[in-house]
Each structure stands twice: as structure tokens, then as C-alpha cells.
Amino acid sequence: MRKPIIAGNWKLNNTITESRELSTQLVTGLKNTEDREIIIAPIYTALSAVAEVIKDSPVQLAAQNCYPETKGAFTGEISPEFLQDAGCQYVILGHSERRQLMGETDHFINQKLFKVLETRLKPILCIGETLQERENGQMLEVLSAQIKGGLANLTAAEMATVVIAYEPVWAIGTGKTASADQAEEAHAFIRRLLQDLFNPQVADQTRILYGGSVKPNNVDELMTQADIDGALVGGASLNAEDFIRIVQFEPLS
């Protein structure tokens, strides 16, 4: 049984004070949650402050990105070691905004993933197709390339802590959401691909999250699907009431 994950990616939002306030609301509203993992990813400057707020609560801390070196002359970058020191347990890698706006490649994301694993943090590897790629019938090809590139040279044992997040780019921040059937089709394909790349056990144990305009009014249907193991939430994670409701999803019968 795969334990669901609901992760909130705050992106470039919330000051340190606002991050404290929001994380305090989440800790209060989710204090008795045990059957699912809860993760929030504030901006770098708020990580330590949020870590103090969520200490001894069910809420875990993630960073939104990292650099694949420990330390050195890398102005403006931050390593997994420093993220761990700030209190992080997870690191988001390969988000579509990093790929599109910062030009990150599968190879570079793969380097970061290995560094995250070396530091004993847990990576959340994001993949997803653009609207043009979907309309051109390239969705499966794109997902396959991103999975194979991002997970290149990993062993089955190293896959034990890797989480995958499928985020169709056309649904991120647009208000458009892949239908439950569309999301399940992609998730099922990813799981079959993991079986081919590794083995059936890895495929069965890997948690695959859906991201792309997840809201309180669609999370229950999404979480009904067999291969959807949680959500990577963007805008709705900035509102405590909405995010708490998403965490408290109840799959439709």
C-alpha cells in the first residue's frame, strides 16, 4: 500500500512572516493526520523559520530546487547539504518552470537527483508535457524521455525514496486540470515504464503524484484513480483552508 503524499509548492511567494503564519495554520489544522504525508516547499529564505514552526508535527519540509555540488564558487546556488541543514527532508527537481524558464535539461536534473540521494534527502522528480506536445501525440514520448533521462543510471535500491510528480505543463497555473482519466492514463504509463526500467517491485512501490491546478473540488476524483498517489499543489497550497481540504481528500467510492 503506497502512502499518499500531498505536497504544497509555494513557488516565489510568502515572506518569512507570511510563511510562518501559513505553516502555523497548517500545523494546527493537520495535527492529527497520520495516514498520508504532508510536505510544504517555501522559498529558501523561509526554510529555517518554517522548519521551527512544523517541528514535531506531521508536516515535512521541502526545497523547491538545488544545485549538484556541496559547496564552492557557485554564486546564487544552494546545495542539498545546506537544505538538509535548514531542516529539509525533500527536494523538488525538474519542475516545468525550471525546465522552461531556466533551461534545465534531463541530464542536469539527473545530476541533481544523484546529489540529493547522496545527501539522503528525498527527491520529487517532476515531469510533464506541453499542450503542443500533447496535441501532436508526443505525450508518451516526452514522458518516457524525461523519466529515462532524469533516472539515468539509478539502481532499483536508489529508487526506494524517489517520488515522481506528473504535471502536464498546460494545466499548471492555468485553471485547466487534466481529467481524472487523462491523469490516470499518464500515471499508468509511468508505472509501466518504471517496471521496464527497473522491476515490478519498484513500479509498485514508487509514489506518483499529480500536479496541475489541483483544487479542493477536484482532488477527491483524482485520488480515486488507482495509480495516482497524491498531489503536488501550487496555487491552492497558499491558502490554508484549501490546502487542508486537499490533504483531507476522500476518494470517491
**pLDDT, tens only, 108-164:** 999 999 999 999 999 999 999 988 898 899 999 999 999 999 999 999 999 999 999
**Residue 213: which pLDDT band, with cuts at 50, 70 and 90?**
confident
Cα distance between the two ends of the chain: 18
- In the chain, the amino acid numbered 94 is G
Whether the pLDDT of residue 176 is over 80: the answer is: no
The vertex-182 CA angle with 178 and 187, nearest 5°, equals 105
* Annotated domain spans of the chain: 5-247
Q: Catalytic residue positions?
A: 95, 167
Q: How would CATH label the architecture of 5-247?
A: Alpha-Beta Barrel (3.20)
**Residue 120 amino acid letter:** R
Q: Is the per-residue pLDDT at 253 higher than 90?
A: no
What integer pLDDT is reported at residue 1 of this predicted model?
Answer: 83
Considering the entire predicted model, what is its pTM?
0.96
In the predicted model, what is the mean pLDDT of residues 47-56? 97
Helix (H, G, I), strand (E, B) or coil at 180: helix
Position with higher pLDDT, 56 vs 252: 56
